[in-house]
Structure 1
Amino acid sequence: MKLFQIKASPLGVERIAEFLENNYICIGYPGTGDLEGASPEEMLARLLKSGAYQGKELEAAVVNLNLFVHEMQDGDYVLVADGQWVHLGDLGDYFYDETYDKAGDGRCHRRGVTWLKSIPQSALNPEVAELLADESSVSRYRGTLPAARIELWLEGTGPADSAADGNRSRVDEITVAKAIAVLKEALNSDDADRRERAAVAILHYAK
């Protein structure tokens, strides 16, 4: 499994409430079409054709899109900052929604997310806090993650942990119920790794 961070303001528009309510993330870069089968070279060609990016911004756009479309995988994890909080989600597949592929919107490149946990940023361990502080639109944690035990690679120790227990999540109850239903369904998956992740997430929520 891999861990990523992504900013919640593609094209400068704050989307965190929409991300949490509708269980997805997006990255911006409209005018590039469906990128599911596109190589980095094809992404570059489409970005150039859009005429919206050049120089270092163009280079960063190719890196960001390749991370979002290809390096992220179903079952990886993502962190999204929300003021003094951070939300952890289990990623789904990449998909393209043509409806939102227009200038000034940028919600066309998407991944579904099952939101698992919300904690104060002050409770993060230093390595994960450093990832979250990365200024890139999207980036990957390059260290080694302990298998399955989410709390081991997210949270540090200290007074902030008790605050997290007192205000466990800013995600509404309906969304939490839907997420738990998805996790329960994943317990019956043919993929042993997915079953294990679902079991860990459910047990962690029940603590």
Structure 2
Amino acid sequence: MSNKAWLVRPNPADINRINEFQTENIVAIGWPGIGDLTGKTRQDLKEILSNPPYSYTALALGNAYATVDIFVNQMNKGDLVLTPDGDNIYLGVIASNYQFNPKVDNISNGYSHQRTVEWHNKITREDLSKALRSSLKVHRTAADLSHHYNEIKARCFNMPIPKTATTGPIKISYPLRPNFNISFEIPADMTKEEAERLKTFISTLHFKD
């Protein structure tokens, strides 16, 4: 098993597929209509998503191809996966390489980009540390949660939670523009007032109108 862990949301093509994820033992992402992505590089994915049917530009393009690249190229067999669905958290191990399922490659289904998963546990959001719950707020279909690997592994296999899993700063990565992410850390117990102060500070950082 690796030391990587990933977030994959159960809403490919904006349709909740948690039942399919569980019964078919998969995780999946949307973007139907672009075909099999086996062997496609990050640059290939950028080109594909900048053309029809999606024709993404700017930040939308950066977010899309970064997410698809995670699912197609960065995940590996043996990595851990966390899928949140409301208050429920599903935990498992990725069991396959990227797979393309043409039977569900259409607008009404739209979850053809898949990986098989061995599901191990189902817990609630309240079972997670505050730091990990905060990391789940990222607005991405798929994201790297490897900085929470020890906690996710413990929750996945019903092991004792390492003390270090519930403390320390939270690492944040935000795609400001294509090919440029901002990375920074915030305290795990950050208050709403502190978040508002940070928001005000960031709003003063523009240098070009």
User: TM-score normalized by structure 1?
Assistant: 0.68
Show the counterpart of 1:49: 51
1:15-64 Cα deviation digits (max 9, x unpaired): 01111111001100112221120011111222223331422222111000
Q: Secondary structure at the match of 1:32?
A: coil
User: Aligned AA for 1:52?
Assistant: Y
Pick from 13, 16, 37 the counterpart of residue 15 of structure 2. Answer: 13
User: Aligned AA for 1:43?
Assistant: L
Rounded Cα–Cα distance in structure 2 between residues aligned with 1:143 and 1:118: 21
Show the counterpart of 1:2: 4
Pick from 119, 122, 129 the counterpart of residue 126 of structure 2. Answer: 122
Show the counterpart of 1:174: none
- Identical counterparts, % of pairs: 25
Q: Secondary structure at the match of 1:73?
A: coil
Rounded Cα–Cα distance in structure 2 between residues aligned with 1:51 and 1:109: 16
1:102 deviation in Å?
2.1
1:82 deviation in Å?
1.8
For residues 46-195 of structure 1, the aligned pairs below 5 Å read: 46-55=48-57, 56-92=59-95, 93-143=97-147, 145-146=149-150, 149-150=154-155, 151=159, 152=161
Is contact 1:78–1:89 with CA below 8 Å preserved after alignment?
yes
Rounded Cα–Cα distance in structure 1 between residues aligned with 2:150 and 2:127: 18
Is contact 1:27–1:107 with CA below 8 Å preserved after alignment?
yes
Is contact 1:32–1:43 with CA below 8 Å preserved after alignment?
no
Rounded Cα–Cα distance in structure 2 between residues aligned with 1:63 and 1:75: 21
Is contact 1:79–1:132 with CA below 8 Å preserved after alignment?
no
Q: Secondary structure at the match of 1:145?
A: helix
Long gaps (5+) in structure 1 = 157-207
1:156-180 Cα deviation digits (max 9, x unpaired): 6xxxxxxxxxxxxxxxxxxxxxxxx
Q: Secondary structure at the match of 1:105?
A: coil
Is contact 2:25–2:116 with CA below 8 Å preserved after alignment?
yes
User: Post-superposition, which runs of at least 4 consecutive aligned residues in structure 1 deviate over 4 A?
Assistant: 147-150, 153-156
1:144 deviation in Å?
6.0
User: Aligned AA for 1:79?
Assistant: L
Rounded Cα–Cα distance in structure 2 between residues aligned with 1:108 and 1:74: 18
1:149 deviation in Å?
4.4
1:120 deviation in Å?
1.0
Q: How many residues align?
A: 156
1:87 deviation in Å?
0.5
Distance change (3 Å), C-alpha of 1:40 and 1:88: same
Rounded Cα–Cα distance in structure 1 between residues aligned with 2:149 and 2:28: 24
User: Aligned AA for 1:37?
Assistant: G
Bigger helix fraction: 1
Bigger strand fraction: 2
User: TM-score normalized by structure 2?
Assistant: 0.68
